[in-house]
Amino acid sequence: MTIVVAYKYAANPQDASVGSDGRIDWSRAKETVSEYDPVAIQVGRQLADAAGSELVGITVGTTAANSSLARKGALSRGLDRAVIVADDAVRDWAPTRVGSVLAALVERIGDAAIVLTGDASVDEGAQVMPTVIAGYLGWPCFLEVISVAQTADGWELVQAHEGGTRTIALAGAAVVSVTTDATEARTPGMKDILAAGKKPAEEVALADLDAAEVDLTVTAHSRPATKAREHQVFSGDDAPAQLVAALRSVGVL
């Protein structure tokens, strides 16, 4: 049994800028492991340690995803090994196409029991990758998961939803997206980074995998519309109640 984590080596949005036309300029953004993924890796590490299993990271990206810096950045966080597709051809791929290749990597591993992902990627944040991977694998998918534990038949998931949580008993494999508070991500030290350089990382050629023929064309960009302020002022002893009522009327509460 293998625990798999899908991670992304992506541009850091803190280094990006937005132009007057709404276009995001990523040219000065440094790439790193997406900030949501270390939590998924740590959850995977805990599951793998409890089960005595291997933890494998998979990623699809440009050639930068297979650089020494990228490999160490992922492997130092607790992965046992990585399986990487690194090709500049994927730079403008639609998420559906990327997801099809990630699913192919899962199938290549062969004995994956669960695929973990972070909440979203820092550069796009579309939150669709878990469902796309699951769709190509034919597995169930669960989002907003705050806890994962292995059982005799499969997995016990605690999933957040409006108003509370629900606990799911699952038999068999699944794709699970964990929230940022599912666990505390471990910050790798120098020893971890040095050890990561000795861990195996397999590069798989894009030509060896069956990528879905899906294209995406962005036809326009625009800034979000500026909303007019209400300028409501509440006074009197019941001002707090008035504020709450106003917030509820617009769906904030």
Separation between Cα atoms, residue 31 and residue 246, nearest integer Å: 43
- Structure-token pair, residue 84: 């990487």
pLDDT score, position 3: 97
pLDDT of residue 188: 92
- Phi and psi for 115 in degrees, rounded to 5? -115, 125
Query: Domain ranges in the chain?
Result: 2-208
pTM of the model: 0.81
- CA dist 123 and 62 (Å) reads 14
What integer pLDDT is reported at residue 121 of this predicted model?
A: 72
What's the 3-state SS for the chain?
CEEEEECCEEECHHHCEECCCCCEECCCCCEEECCCHHHHHHHHHHHHHHHCCEEEEEEEECHHHHCHHHHHHHHCCCCCEEEEEECHHHCCCCHHHHHHHHHHHHHHHCCEEEEEECCCCCCCCCCCHHHHHHHHHCCCEEEEEEEEEECCCEEEEEEEECCEEEEEEEECCEEEEECCCCCCCCCCCHHHHHHHCCCCEEECCHHHCCCCCCCCCCCCCCCCCCCCCCCCCCCCCCHHHHHHHHHHHCCCC
| Number of residues in the chain | 253
What's residue 15's pLDDT? 66
- Check residue 26 and give its pLDDT: 66
Tell me, what's the pLDDT at 122? 60
Residue 220 has a pLDDT of: 76
**Which amino acid is present at 145?**
V
User: What's the CATH number for 2-208?
Assistant: 3.40.50.620
What pLDDT was estimated at residue 43? 97
Predicted pLDDT of residue 103: 97
Average pLDDT, consecutive stretches of 10 residues, N- to C-terminus, the chain (253 residues): 93 70 71 89 97 96 94 96 95 90 96 92 73 96 95 93 90 94 92 94 93 80 72 86 85 69
